[in-house]
Amino acid sequence: MEQDLILTGRVLSFAASPFAVSSPEAAVEQHEALGLRGGKIIALGSKAALVKALPGAQIVDHGERVILPGFVDSHVHYPQTAMIASWGKRLIDWLNTYTFPEEMRFGDAAYAARIAARYLDLTTACGTTTVASYCTIHPESAEALFTEAQARGQRLVAGKTCMDRNAPEGLRDSAQSAYDDSAALIARWHGVDRLSYAITPRFSPTSTPEQLEALGALWAANPDCLMQTHLSEQLDEIEWVRGLFPEARDYLDTYERYGLLGKGAVFGHAIHLEQREKDRLREVGASLIHCPTSNTFIGSGLFDMGGLMAAGHRIGLATDTGGGSSFSMLRTMAAAYEVSQLRGLPLHATQLLWLATQGSAAALRLEDKIGNLAVGMEADLVVLDLASTPAIAQRAAEARDLWDAVFPTLMMGDDRAIAEVRIAGRKVV
C-alpha cells in the first residue's frame, strides 16, 4: 500500500473567487500542511494535526515555499511546440507561413509521439499539470498526446482539429471524416483514466457549414465532451468570417446556428465581441479563454478581463502555444497583468493565480477535480520558490506580506521558480 504523504509549507487554497469578494486576499486560505493518499488530497490544516491524523506518513518540508494547485493551461496547440516564437506575422499569414507546414508533419505517428513527449516535458517543468490542447487533423496526433498523458497519469483535454477548407491539401479532412475520426477518438479515449475529449473545429473560416453541422451533431450525441474553438481573435479575421458567412448575425452565430454553442463550449481569445455575443455566451455558460502572450505577440488586441468578469463570464487563462510565446503560466500571468493594466484593471496576485488554476479548471468544467487544494481533489500540485533568482530574491526580501512576496515571482519567474511538481501525488519535477 502506498505510504501517506504530508507536505508542509505555505499551502494556499481558494475559498472563493478573488474576483467575487471585496478583498481579493479574503478568497485565499493558508494552511501549514496538506496530506496526500492515492493521488488525492485527504487533509489540510496544521502540521501538528496532520502528523497526528496520519501516523507513519512521510513528511516533505518545503519551508517558506508556497504550495499551490498545479497550473491549468486551458488553450494550447501542442503541435506548434517546435515553431513557437516564430517571427512577425498577423494571424492568417502566421498560420500559412509557420503553423500549417509544421502541422503537416503530424501524420507521422513517430513524429507526433516525439513532440507530444517534448511538449509535456516542457510544460510540466513550468508547473503545468493539465492542458486543453488542439491536435492536428491527423488522428495520429491525438493518439500520441492521449497516449503520452495516460502514461504519465496526467489529466488532459484534447481533440483532433477539424478543417475542410482554407487550409493546404494535406491539412484538410471532410465533414464525414471529421465526424468519423472524432467519434472513434471519443470512443477510445474520452473518460479513460484522466483523459477527456474536446470536439475541435479549428475556427469557422476553416470549416464549411457542412462540417460545422456534422460536428454540432457529434456534440449533441456526446454532450459530456467539451467543444473548443476560436472566436474573435483579430479584426481582419472577423471580416473574413463575415464574408464567408454573410447570413450570420455575428461571428458567434457561425457556431450557434450549427449546434456549437452551449455549456461546455470553450472559446479561445474572444477579444472583439459584440454585445449580442457577450449576452449569449454568458446566458449559455460558455467559457472564454484569455491568451495574453499570444494576443500581444500576434497583435490581436487587449482582452477585457474587467468588463467580462463583472458581467459574470466564465474565464480561463492560457499560453496558446505556439501563438503564445512561452510555455510558462508564470509568464502568462505576467502578461495578463500587463494587458489588464492597459485596460485599467491592476489584477491582484490572488486573481492571477486563480485564473491559472481554479478559473481555468472551471472553464474546462473540471473544477470538481483540479484547480484547488481541497479534500477529495486530485493531487496535482506545484511548489513555488519565491527566491529563485537573485533579482526575485532581493525583491521578495523587502516584501511587506505574503502577496507582496508572491507577486515578484508571478512577474519575473520562470521554470527556475518551480521547486516541485506533483501529478496525482507523484513527484515529477
pLDDT tens-place string over residues 130-155: 999 999 999 999 999 999 999 999 99
Which domain, by its residues, includes 61? 5-70+372-427
One-letter identity of residue 346: P
The answer to whether residues 316 and 414 belong to one domain is no
The answer to whether residues 113 and 251 belong to one domain is yes
The answer to whether residues 359 and 382 belong to one domain is no
- What tens digit of pLDDT does each residue of 213-260 get? 999 999 999 999 999 999 999 999 999 999 999 999 999 999 999 999
One-letter identity of residue 23: S
SS3 per residue for 163-198: CCCCCCHHHCCCHHHHHHHHHHHHHHHCCCCCEEEE
CA distances, 72 to each of 60, 165, 345, 353 (Å): 24, 31, 23, 10
The CATH number of the domain holding residue 150 is 3.20.20.140
- Residue 89: the pLDDT is 76
Split at pLDDT 50, 70, 90, the class of 88 is: confident
Which letter, b or e, does each residue of 356-392 get, where b requires 16 or more Cβ atoms within 10 Å of its Cβ?
Answer: bbbbbbbbbbbbebbbbbbeebbbbbbbbbbbbbeeb
The answer to whether residues 45 and 75 belong to one domain is no
The answer to whether residues 312 and 343 belong to one domain is yes
Final residue belonging to a domain, choices 322, 340, 363: 363
- Between CA 367 and CA 404, with CA 130 as vertex, the angle to 5 degrees is 75
Residue of 343, 252, 328, 332 whose CA lies nearest to 291: 332
Helix (H, G, I), strand (E, B), or coil: what is residue 100? helix
What is the pLDDT of the chain when averaged over all its residues? Answer: 97
Q: How many domains are contained in the chain?
A: 2
The answer to whether residues 342 and 202 belong to one domain is yes
d(CA 351, CA 337): 10
The pTM is what? Answer: 0.97
The answer to whether residues 178 and 320 belong to one domain is yes
Per the DSSP assignment, residues forming a β-bridge with 131 are: 73, 156
- Residue 391: the pLDDT is 98
